[in-house]
Structure 1
Amino acid sequence: MIRLVLVFLLALGGAALADTARVAPQTPAQVRLSFAPVVKKAAPAVVNVYVSHVERMPRNPLFDDPIFQRFFGGGGGEGERVQKALGSGVLVDPSGLVVTNYHVVENATEVRVALADRREFEAEIALRDPRTDLAVLRLKSEGETFPTLEMGDSDALEVGDFVIAIGDPFGVGQTVTQGIVSALARTQIGASDYGFFIQTDAAINPGNSGGALVDLDGRLVGINSMIYSRSGGSMGLGFAIPVSMVKGVVAAALHGGKSVKRAWLGATLQNVSKDIADNLGLDRPTGALVVEVDSAGPAAAAGLKRGDVIAAIDGQPVDDAQSVGFRLGVKPLGGTARLATLRDGKTLDLPLKLASAPETPPRDALTIHGRSPFDGALVMNLSPAVAEELSLDGAHQGVVVAAVGENSTAAQVGVQKGDIVLAVNGAAIASTRDLERACAERSRWWDLTILRGGETIRTRLGG
């Protein structure tokens, strides 16, 4: 009987505890869960970026007709069409440095920046880094001190952490969205050479590009870069460039650099597939397989060999070949990185000197003019620095096409950026001057040998 009463009292006490747990909140603090303090700290440093691009239209020959001029007047110079775009940016230095996406300002002829307090400033592009899809703007102002966003540590993020995205989607005005870190180290996205993105379900839409991804301490952990969408709107798949990559770009801009120099490995890598892992006796398909080693590069000096698998860099695990590029790309030059390398079932610790790729021979860039298939193409001598800059794996000699002019002859015949010109009309091309001389000659036919994507292409075009 006593035992039965005790059980009844325990049950009654449990019910009372349950009722207590469901009591209505007694104070505002018990019901208020707000990100407002974080937003107040971060929002003043997030800006809108307005971009104008003046596109010159070709002159219509009809304007030169005397009859047309008689009835419709003169003029008729080159027409202009102004295209406008909108993005976001983040103030990272009190002097007025703004980080945004490269694709936001890629073709800009005029850039204006609007702050959260509605002040507007003209801006110049201080640094472009297309490989990371980042750019740095410098506001044109005198004596101004701007609010900035403290940079955090993107390597400290974990899947499930709360994050906040701030930007200007669709030009409606500064907007804040909240979500979590959905995934880390996302590669194979294709937005930049250093594809190593933070994935988030915080709503990111067109216009958010270049905006801030912040943690709950109000620190910058990423620059919002792109979305995956079938409709053009947010589907909960947003990607941000980690702030660890942003830091190097900002440091280069602060020191007056126009571009960013990064550590050169001097080796060609590929992802480790399941078949490769089985053949090498690895437990799982992870790491970066060394396919080729440049005998004059840092990898060779460190003792890296073909067939090795890079498993980690300075203790940070490497999942694939792109991870190696990212891990080396965020490290300052002049030091040493430790490569954990798998070879014949053993793990080796190899010291890699962090040095930039040499520009030997000098690039000697020039644009080809004249009646040839390369008219309008910007070409450079191939060097390790140029190969690294244009992401050309395994290319060692020849002349590379660095850019192709819009509506040029080169564009019309199918010449592409990254093509390596090996021979023209049977003559080997070893320098840009060789190509310039070959293209200066009149020819009824053009026999071209081009290396594209690792494949040698031979083609014949009419002169």
Structure 2
Amino acid sequence: MQKQKHAFVYFLAWLSIGIVSGLAILLYRGDIRVDLNQANSSNQLAQTTQHRHTGYADAVMKAAPAVVSIRTVIWSAATDDSKADDEVIQRFLGKSSPHRPKRQAEASTGSGVIIRSNGYILTNYHVIEQRDEIMVRLNDGKVAKAELIGADPETDLAVLKINQDNLPTLHAADITKIKVGDIVLAIGDPFAIGQTVTQGIISATGRTRVSLNTYENFIQTDAAINPGNSGGALINTAGDIVGINSNIFSSTGNFQGISFAIPIDLAQKVADQIIKNGLVVRGWLGAEGQELTPPVLRSLELSSAHGILVTSVDKGGPGDKAGLEPGDIITKINQHDIYSTSDILNLIADGRPGDEFLIEGIRARQSFMTRAILGQRPLMSR
């Protein structure tokens, strides 16, 4: 009996040792699991922190050197008692003058994009519309006087030239691949405070009927655009340029979340023509029209139709020679359906003087077809 009692005590002792050892092992393994989880969490946090730190810096570093600041100056005679000087220009040049100038300077600011390494710069026409002198500050701080090569008020674009070589340029994005919701960055010099980057998304594409330019096909974005940003670059997250920042839509004159940029493909076409010819040559039909809104359709006693109602035809112009008349409805041009004034404007503008265009439409409820030989669109001035 005594032996059995001792055996039972030994059994309990060993059982206790086993339980304690097992708990120790479990706790030890638990510590290992905790340490591993903590290590994994630390790695993930480090990776996340690194990713956040990177952001869009690479895109900005790629694009920013090709974006410039522009100052335009209008000179006027100084009055005898005037203490005004050319402080704006001197500050822009990083200089100060102890002498009273003989003229006063009124300056405005904007931005531009280097499009060719030999000194061609693209900007908005409204940035340089009123000017006696144009000065450009490069991203590296160099300042150069710019020459106006040509302008196109109908798209609000202008090309400048500075005497510099080996300048950085931007790669153009494929406009056909941009989508609503894509992240974009606006680079420019708002309020002349220095190069600034703002972020937003593409809010809409192909935006027309905003009554800013004759030819409109805007990219709409909510990236902040302010006075001085006009002419700057709108880039994607790869650092490629998608547009030229142009205008804001606002009831107050201040940014309200709606900005417009001219698509880079349109801007490049205009710039190439200006560099080659000094101006933009477009086709011209010599007719004006209005869209078929519900009230217009009712007045024509039509239930539905697409096209443009011809309201006037220039005497002796291409449309007149082709037999177009007020009251005609143009439904197709070169087999492209017409739904808006933008459709017809862009199709005709893409043509060249001398091109033959097939026009289809409705006259007195009957279909008709004619051919017009395009003329050259008269130059517009603002």
TM, length-normalised to structure 2: 0.70
Q: Tell me which amino acid in the other structure corresponds to 2:117.
A: P
Aligned to 2:65: 44
Q: 2:226 aligns with which of 195, 205, 216?
A: 205
Distance in 1 (alpha carbons) for counterparts of 2:186 and 2:223:
6
1:163 aligns with 2:184: yes
Distance in 2 (alpha carbons) for counterparts of 1:163 and 1:266:
39
Distance in 2 (alpha carbons) for counterparts of 1:164 and 1:36:
11
Distance in 2 (alpha carbons) for counterparts of 1:224 and 1:337:
33
Q: 1:115 aligns with which of 120, 125, 138?
A: 138
Distance in 2 (alpha carbons) for counterparts of 1:122 and 1:31:
41
| Structure 2: stretches of 5+ with no match in the other structure | 1-39, 82-100
Distance in 2 (alpha carbons) for counterparts of 1:151 and 1:117:
22
CA contact (8 A) 1:245 1:330 kept: no
Deviation at 1:202, TM superposition (A): 1.1
Q: Which range moved further: 344-353 or 316-325? A: 344-353
Map 1:80-91 → 2, pairs under 5 A: 80-91=103-114
Deviation at 1:105, TM superposition (A): 1.0
Aligned residues with identical type, % of pairs: 38
Deviation at 1:167, TM superposition (A): 0.9
Q: Which range moved further: 341-350 or 51-60? A: 341-350
Distance in 2 (alpha carbons) for counterparts of 1:157 and 1:339:
32
1:291 aligns with 2:311: yes
CA contact (8 A) 2:159 2:275 kept: no
Q: Residues 94 and 346 (structure 1 numbering): CA distance in 2 closer, same or farther, change over 3 Å? A: farther
Q: Residues 177 and 344 (structure 1 numbering): CA distance in 2 closer, same or farther, change over 3 Å? A: farther
Q: Tell me which amino acid in the other structure corresponds to 2:127.
A: V
Aligned to 2:47: 28
1:389 aligns with 2:380: yes
CA contact (8 A) 1:245 1:329 kept: no
Aligned to 2:13: none
Q: Residues 282 and 94 (structure 1 numbering): CA distance in 2 closer, same or farther, change over 3 Å? A: farther
Deviation at 1:183, TM superposition (A): 2.6
| Structure 1: stretches of 5+ with no match in the other structure | 1-22, 61-77, 358-384, 391-402, 404-463
Deviation at 1:130, TM superposition (A): 2.2
Deviation per residue, 1:152-177 (Å, 9 max, x gap): 45455443333322111112221222
Distance in 2 (alpha carbons) for counterparts of 1:316 and 1:162:
32
Q: Tell me which amino acid in the other structure corresponds to 2:308.
A: A
Aligned to 1:54: 75
Deviation at 1:333, TM superposition (A): 5.0
Distance in 1 (alpha carbons) for counterparts of 2:313 and 2:335:
22
CA RMSD of aligned residues (A): 3.5
Q: Tell me which amino acid in the other structure corresponds to 1:165.
A: A
Alignment: residue pair count? 319
Aligned to 2:275: 254
1:191 aligns with 2:212: yes
TM, length-normalised to structure 1: 0.59
Distance in 2 (alpha carbons) for counterparts of 1:339 and 1:35:
48
Deviation at 1:313, TM superposition (A): 5.5
Aligned to 2:376, what secondary structure does the other structure show?
Answer: coil
Q: Residues 134 and 280 (structure 1 numbering): CA distance in 2 closer, same or farther, change over 3 Å? A: farther
1:125 aligns with 2:148: yes
Distance in 2 (alpha carbons) for counterparts of 1:116 and 1:93:
15
Distance in 1 (alpha carbons) for counterparts of 2:365 and 2:177:
31
Distance in 2 (alpha carbons) for counterparts of 1:249 and 1:274:
35
Aligned to 1:89, what secondary structure does the other structure show?
Answer: strand
Deviation at 1:107, TM superposition (A): 1.7
1:274 aligns with 2:294: yes
Distance in 2 (alpha carbons) for counterparts of 1:159 and 1:345:
40
Aligned to 1:210, what secondary structure does the other structure show?
Answer: coil
Q: 2:128 aligns with which of 93, 98, 105?
A: 105
Distance in 2 (alpha carbons) for counterparts of 1:227 and 1:349:
41
CA contact (8 A) 2:173 2:240 kept: yes
CA contact (8 A) 1:244 1:330 kept: no
1:147 aligns with 2:171: no
Deviation at 1:316, TM superposition (A): 6.6
Q: Residues 202 and 275 (structure 1 numbering): CA distance in 2 closer, same or farther, change over 3 Å? A: same
Deviation per residue, 1:332-362 (Å, 9 max, x gap): 55555565656677887866545414xxxxx
Greater relative contact order structure (CA < 8 Å, 6+ sep): 2
Deviation per residue, 1:76-100 (Å, 9 max, x gap): xx97321111100011112211111
Aligned to 2:284, what secondary structure does the other structure show?
Answer: coil
Deviation per residue, 1:257-277 (Å, 9 max, x gap): 332221112111112221223
Aligned to 2:65, what secondary structure does the other structure show?
Answer: helix
CA contact (8 A) 1:92 1:150 kept: no
Distance in 2 (alpha carbons) for counterparts of 1:153 and 1:166:
19
